[in-house]
């Protein structure tokens, strides 16, 4: 994938061996899967309750779907009188969204007899055309999303339906749930495995399944939540986007447990209580989430719904040591900083090489950001967005601080990070109207013999002072390695920057006339092009401030950002 500061030769071999061993184990154990002893769902006589779908719906999309115009994942395809499930050449992200049936909520929002009949016809199409348990339609995460969608929208789909359709619908639900139950052990994407367990609990509660089935599903869900949700509420992948998906599915599930008078797994309740403040940690004043480790364009309406669904007055977490994030906030300014190590291999498929990067917002205007992650379907940009130079932090010799596995990966998996920085220290201090966070990582020690330390001090009036150091950790290596470095600050695409009479000073202007002055006396500041990946269309031109230096002659860089 991309060049990295640490060699991954032997780690790549170890990872490749583990992959092959896992694949071999699946093939060898396949004939004995029936011995796993997992309870089956059993016949479904009726659906007694439907969880609320918290995702935003658009009734205008119903007419497009009725016309055979399907727009998903940034791609729009016309079925041309055919069933959309018969389209074979569609992009993978588009097909995944189609097969997940999340778009049923748009038909429900239209709330008409025509949209209801259209929904039933499309569900029936899927049952007829996709009965073979193979392909994208039966991938674990897609199957789980479809089950959640069908259960959530079942009152709309089944109202006025004839008994034959009702029977086909419930029989397909049972078949899909049993398939998930039997194939869950083969899912290699942890967040999709968790979604599948959530879907099983949805089905068990909505159909009043046997007590042993529900108990087992709840037990497995609780255990998986404990594995993936950290003590401070962050996800083990360190990806803010996963928190959105989890809360959107877990909040209605909690309500269904209560409605059915069934005790939910304690892990579910505890995780929801922790994830709410953690989600707020990432939220800027304009409603967007900070762009770290896989976060792209923010569904601001969905975030607002999640916050309203919980305690709207709850406070954001500020010192998330376990997840590796810090939030520095006063009344009008917010700074969010990544102070965390690389996630474990199995959870790093969307992790970025951006340790010690940060985002700064003044009121509702984001000023310094990271480039973020583009929408699904653009693999080249997605891999570029993971590089260190796509983050507001320091890189050495144009090399990323973390390295990913190479080779082809079966969809939906992407290359995990095999190496990456370890945060050696992170300290937070609050006094006298200022908040200071100082952190240090070792991502460049193996290649260049230096550690990067960053200290950020946010003042109550919005002034931000920064101090970046390159500390010699391996003397001989630091003396002989290439010592070129670049300190980058990516600007929000709505801002314009220009030199202000000196190579050491930059004026940053917002569209509303607001101005900030960025200064660095230790090095001249260059203006360069950048790109913001986290937009609805997948990319928007922006600018970045870059300071070039050599750490054997300039090992400390002091800078500040001051609002006028």
Residue 268: inside a domain: yes
Distance separating alpha carbons of residues 377 and 92, to the nearest angstrom: 7
Sign (positive or negative) of CA dihedral 224, 226, 228, 234: positive
Model-level pTM?
0.92
Residues 461-497 pLDDT 10s: 999 999 999 999 999 999 999 999 999 999 999 999 9
Give percent helix, percent strand, percent coil of the chain, each to the nearest 5.
40, 25, 40
Question: Does the pLDDT value for residue 153 go beyond 50?
Answer: yes
Question: Does the pLDDT value for residue 244 go beyond 60?
Answer: yes
- How many C-beta neighbours within 10 Å does residue 73 have? 17
In DSSP notation, 94-130 reads HHHHHHHTTTHHHHHHH-SHHHHHHHHHHHHHHHHHS
**Domain termination residue (choose one: 237, 272, 287):** 287
**CATH number assigned to the domain comprising residue 485:** 2.70.98.70
Kindly state whether residues 183 and 218 are assigned to the same domain: no
Kindly state whether residues 476 and 547 are assigned to the same domain: yes
Mean pLDDT of 47-68: 92
8 A C-beta contact, residue 193 and residue 224: yes
Tokens describing residue 114: 């025509």
Mean pLDDT of 375-395: 87
8 A C-beta contact, residue 545 and residue 489: yes
CA neighbor of 234 nearest in space, from 193, 275, 269, 272:
275
Among 30-34, 44-48, 440-444, top mean pLDDT goes to 440-444
Q: State the residue range of the domain holding 359.
A: 325-402+417-563
Distance separating alpha carbons of residues 72 and 79, to the nearest angstrom: 13
**Domain termination residue (choose one: 187, 211, 246):** 187
Distance separating alpha carbons of residues 545 and 549, to the nearest angstrom: 13
Residue 395: inside a domain: yes
**Domain termination residue (choose one: 137, 155, 187):** 187
CA neighbor of 563 nearest in space, from 456, 432, 464:
464
């Amino acid at each position: 994938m991309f060049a990295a500061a640490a060699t991954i030769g032997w780690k790549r071999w170890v990872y490749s061996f583990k992959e092959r061993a896992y694949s071999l184990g699946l093939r060898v154990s396949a004939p004995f899967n029936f011995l796993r002893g997992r309870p089956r769902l059993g016949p479904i006589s009726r659906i007694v309750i439907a969880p609320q779908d918290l995702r935003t719906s658009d009734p205008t999309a119903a007419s497009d779907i009725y016309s055979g115009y399907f727009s998903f994942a940034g791609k729009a395809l016309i079925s041309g009188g055919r069933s959309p499930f018969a389209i074979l050449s569609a992009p993978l992200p588009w097909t995944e969204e189609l097969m997940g049936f999340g778009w049923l909520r748009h038909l429900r929002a239209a709330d008409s007899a025509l949209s209801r009949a259209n929904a039933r016809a499309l569900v029936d199409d899927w049952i007829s055309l996709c009965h073979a348990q193979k392909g994208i339609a039966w991938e674990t995460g897609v199957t789980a999303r479809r089950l959640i969608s069908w259960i959530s929208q079942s009152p709309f789909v089944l109202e006025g339906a004839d008994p034959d359709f009702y029977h086909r619908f419930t029989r397909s639900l049972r078949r899909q749930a049993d398939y998930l139950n039997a194939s869950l052990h083969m899912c290699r994407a942890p967040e999709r495995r968790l979604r599948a367990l959530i879907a099983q609990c949805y089905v068990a509660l909505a159909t009043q399944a046997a007590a042993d089935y529900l108990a087992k599903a709840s037990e497995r869900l609780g255990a998986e939540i404990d594995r993936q949700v950290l003590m401070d509420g962050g996800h083990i992948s360190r990806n803010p986007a996963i928190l959105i998906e989890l809360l959107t599915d877990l909040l209605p599930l909690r309500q269904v447990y209560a409605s059915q008078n069934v005790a939910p797994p304690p892990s579910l309740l505890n995780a929801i209580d922790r994830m709410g403040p953690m989600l707020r940690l990432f939220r800027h004043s304009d409603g967007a989430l900070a762009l770290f480790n896989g976060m792209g364009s923010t569904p601001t309406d969905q975030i607002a719904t999640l916050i309203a669904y919980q305690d709207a007055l709850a406070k954001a977490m500020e010192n998330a040591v376990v997840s590796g994030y810090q939030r520095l906030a006063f009344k009008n300014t917010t700074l969010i900083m990544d102070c965390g190590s690389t996630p474990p291999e199995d959870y790093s498929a969307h992790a970025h090489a951006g340790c010690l990067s940060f985002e700064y917002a003044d009121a509702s205007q984001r000023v310094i950001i990271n480039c973020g992650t583009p929408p699904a379907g653009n693999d080249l940009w997605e891999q570029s967005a993971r590089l260190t130079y796509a983050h507001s932090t320091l890189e050495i010799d144009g090399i990323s601080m973390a390295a990913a596995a190479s080779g082809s990966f079966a969809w939906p998996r992407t290359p995990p990070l095999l190496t990456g920085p370890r945060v050696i220290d992170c300290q937070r201090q609050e006094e006298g109207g200022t908040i200071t966070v100082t952190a240090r990582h070792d991502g460049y020690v193996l290649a260049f013999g230096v550690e990067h330390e960053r200290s950020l001090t946010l003042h109550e009036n919005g002034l931000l002072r920064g101090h970046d150091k390159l500390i010699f950790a391996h003397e001989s290596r630091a003396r002989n390695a290439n010592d070129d470095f670049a300190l980058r600050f990516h600007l929000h695409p709505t801002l314009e920057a220009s030199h202000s009479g000196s190579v050491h000073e930059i004026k940053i202007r917002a569209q509303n006339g607001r101005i900030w002055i960025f200064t660095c006396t230790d090095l001249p500041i260059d203006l360069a092009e950048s790109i913001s990946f986290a937009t609805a269309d997948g990319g928007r031109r922006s600018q970045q401030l870059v300071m070039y230096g050599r750490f054997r002659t300039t090992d400390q860089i002091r800078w500040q950002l001051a609002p006028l």
